[in-house]
Amino acid sequence: MIKQDIINWLPYQKPFLFVDGIDAISENGITGHYTFKDDESFYQGHFKDHPITPGVILTECMAQIGLVCLGIYLLNDELNVSSQPKIALTSHQMDFYLPVLPNEKVTVISEKEVFRFNKLKCKVKMLNEKEELVCRGMISGMIKV
């Protein structure tokens, strides 16, 4: 499975797709990136005259790259052309350290902790362009094909 195929399998579309590309992927983890464009709708009110990316959106970006893309890769042999995988976030715990501003590119690095019975649990972190730690935590979800 090539990297663009994984992105095509994602059950998201603009404006709620937070994956620009996958840089590396294996059975043990994934690295991908996204650039938060300055015209994203959530910047209009968060915060007035000083927009920053909401933590819930950073968490979503890490889930899309670090959990869903990796899950699609791990379930490659079970994917069916006629239906999209069904995904449910089951838990997350995040710590936030730095803001992400409009037009900032972030890299998500995810390491698989556990994958069994279609439940995937990963240790994730997000770095900014200076390779500074933006946030990190654990994220889990169920993926059904």
The residues carrying an active-site annotation are 46
- On the CB side of 110, how many CA atoms lie within 13 Å of its CA? 32
Cis peptide before 15, with omega less than 30 degrees from 0? yes
Residue 129 in contact with residue 104, Cβ under 8 Å?
yes
47 upstream amide cis, omega within 30 of 0: yes
